[in-house]
Amino acid sequence: MPTPSLTTTERDRQKVHGHILFAIAVLLALALGWKLRGVLEIVYVSALFAVVLMPVVQRIMTWKIRKYQPSLPVAIFMLVGAVFLALIIFLIIGLPPVIHDVQRFAQDFPARVPSLLAKFKRLPLADKIGVDDMAAKAESMLSNFASYLLASFPSWMARIFDIITAFILCLYFMLEGEHAYNYFLSFFRGKTRDRLAKTLVVAEHRMSKWLIGQASLMLILGVCSTIVFGILHVRYFFLLGVLMGLFNIIPVAGGVITICMAAGVAALDSWEKLAGVLIFYAIYTQIEQAILTPRIMKTSVNLMALSVLIALLCGTALAGVVGALVAVPTAALVAVLMDEYLVQKPEEEKLQED
């Protein structure tokens, strides 16, 4: 029969061995996650958009067509069909003017570059800026653009494949996400599981409101930009308006990219049009930040502007454009979890919640 001292020693050894094995398992999991970071990124984006879109699917499931009520697969099919129908309508009605504008831009831009450079040369301090060197670099960039497109074609095809994969995964998450969700909750017990489930429901609600708010902001900016650019007689105004609306889904960076494009196109004609475009965007930005965003986004997602900015910086640093795209809903999820598990609430609020 072993002595108590030996039993204690054996238990200590078992604990040490357990800690070592756990540390090795964590390191292996981190190494595997780093190796599969591209796949995990696609899975996360797919799962996030499935969570965001599920309230829309559930709303469709409540519809009643006489005595028929759509099931989950039928509701998902109806949502996907509505998206594809909107895309087809855009391709039939909206794409021809866009293609026409792109063709005109491709034909007119090389001929207008010299006149644009001549305007820049008349500006003060143009010689110190080095306009001639900029022109030579611009011509070199234009000549190498076709070769760049050809060389980057495989990477673009890989991105398209990733988008298709994410779309298919999103459908599977919407179809089978409830089973995966219940399986995940089964790792927790009793009150802990109930508390986590309530927290995730709140997070799902806030994340779904982000999609509605973002779509509203995209539509408002696209319509306003198209109207204003058309009034200013900016070339390719329909194309620029569509791009302004679509790129607005990428916070901060999308607006900067599109306004630079619009300003560059306006500058090809006159400084007055350039000034009009910049003034419009400055006014719209103020209205969006002061009125639209607080009412459409802040009241739903309930995030401070500083939190949104930090989330965008972290998302962009981690995953580029995709990271910026999912930064705000991810920040909403993190904020809900922090409010529930980290924020120290007053005793009165705790009693009210209990």
Q: Say if 291 falls within a structural domain.
A: yes
DSSP assignment letter at 123: S
Q: How many domains does the chain have?
A: 1
Whether the Cβ atoms of residue 217 and residue 346 lie closer than 8 Å to each other = no
Q: Say if 216 falls within a structural domain.
A: yes
Residues 6+ apart with CB under 8 A from 224: 284
Q: Say if 108 falls within a structural domain.
A: no
Q: Say if 284 falls within a structural domain.
A: yes
Q: Say if 181 falls within a structural domain.
A: no
Q: Say if 51 falls within a structural domain.
A: no
**Paired tokens of 76:** 């998902």
Block residue for tokens 């639209």: 292
pLDDT tens across 238-251, in order?
Answer: 878 888 888 887 76
Residue 329 class from Cβ within 10 Å (0-12 exposed, 13-18 middle, 19+ buried)?
buried
Tell me the pTM: 0.69
Buried b (16+ CB within 10 A) or exposed e, 24-38: eeeeeeeeeeeeeee
Q: Say if 280 falls within a structural domain.
A: yes
Cα 245 to Cα 224: distance, rounded to the nearest angstrom? 9
Residue 331 class from Cβ within 10 Å (0-12 exposed, 13-18 middle, 19+ buried)?
buried
The residue segments making up the domain with residue 273 are 190-345
pLDDT tens across 163-174, in order?
Answer: 888 889 988 988
pLDDT tens across 254-298, in order?
Answer: 778 888 888 888 877 788 888 899 999 889 888 877 777 767 766
**Closest by alpha carbon to 269, among 100, 160, 89, 112?**
112
For residues 247 and 8, which has the higher predicted lDDT (pLDDT)? 247
For 58, 107, 256, 260, the CA distances from 199, given in Å and listed in that order, are 19, 55, 35, 41
Q: Say if 100 falls within a structural domain.
A: no
Block residue for tokens 């007689």: 233
